[in-house]
Amino acid sequence: MKKHNFSAGPSVLPEEALEAAAKAIFDFNGTGISLLSISHRTKEFEAVVASAQSLIRELLHVPENYHIYFVGGGASTQFFHLPANFLGGKAAYINTGVWTKKAIKEAKHYGEVDVIASSEDKNFNYIPKNYTIPEDADYLYICSNNTIYGTEYKCDIDSPIPLIADMSSNIMSRPIDVSKYAVIYGGAQKNLAPAGVTFVIIRDDMLQRVVRPLPSMVDVNTHVTNNSMFNTPPVFPIFVMNETLKWIKAQGGVEALYKRNVEKAELLYNEIDRNSLFRPTAAKEDRSLMNICFVMSEGNEDLAAEFLEFATARGMVGVKGHRLVGGFRASCYNACPRESVEALVACMQEFEEMKLK
């Protein structure tokens, strides 16, 4: 039976990237040495890092006054790395769920955190609007897509202060205006690579905004100056990232994938809205393209476990919702094929037909 992978992360990756990685594990780039054993200081691997940086710059139209580097530690490490570097007095945060709450907690170790807007009043089912950005804050922090609650920023914020965005779960899924951000970062295990590497895109002027002496591994200047090579970087995930970026380019770039992502999301959201057994959880105007969350409709809550078993038996993988919200979640990242979304829709229709007989 064909499996349809809707896991929230680590997530589905392009088959082309997986095939290249499998081959490189035995022989990296004709060196006769496994990718898992290659020195990160070799010219062959340095070329991989350079290629990945170049492709990110090309695919996201990153301006020349931005640096791109790769580090380990996951996005959660950046929760404290970034305020350690840039929070001297006060920073503004918009709270849209678990990941921003964790970032807020870490930032409080370094200064005042002003939560200027929050959607916690409705269990984070919308993106806050109509807030005022304090111009005396060191930066504004957002998470652009919320995997647990299925909400997403649909446009780039105009901020009078440096804007920092965690784009772990929707990077490369839609066009963005990088020039509106001071820092964009994310764990790569959604749209780019297996777990283990974090990408950082940082504007040049931020390197002069570091507010305190820091350990070398925490200082952003360390990683820019050493071009991601201060210590041994996550070699294997960076290789897979580079292969995934090649795949994105071959698909027609971010713009082409965005069109495809909209079509996939509309297909599934339309079924959720139509199907009498299900209902969406996120406000319609803020529904995520990447993480589509839904629950059983009112009066049908007791069917949740049965539907999960039904869907699993038909090859659906990773559709159980996060433990904090329950229900279901279909993560439709870039490499998730339309075929898988169609299969899930057919599964939902079959379940409804069976229950309404």
Packing angle between helix 235-250 and helix 15-26, nearest 10 degrees? 140
Report yes or no: 200 and 168 within 8 Å, Cβ to Cβ. no
CA 349 to chain centre: 29
**Phi and psi dihedrals of 116, rounded to 5?**
-80, -15
Name the one residue in this structure whose structure tokens are 């570097």: 85
Going by the DSSP 8-state scheme, the letter that residue 227 receives in this structure is: T
Between the two ends of the chain, the Cα-to-Cα distance in Å is 27
Spatial distance between the Cα atoms of 318 and 11, rounded to a whole number of angstroms: 9
Report yes or no: 178 and 60 within 8 Å, Cβ to Cβ. yes
Strands 140-143 and 183-187: unpaired
Residue by residue, DSSP assigns 118-138 as E-GGGTT-S---S----TTSS
> Which H or E element spans position 100?
helix 98-107
Going by the DSSP 8-state scheme, the letter that residue 14 receives in this structure is: -
Cis omega before residue 83 (within 30°)?
A: no
The radius of gyration computed from the CA coordinates of the chain, to the nearest angstrom, equals: 21
Active-site residue list: 99, 166, 190
Q: Is 114 left (phi over 0), alpha (psi -120 to 50) or beta?
A: beta
Strands 291-296 and 328-331: antiparallel
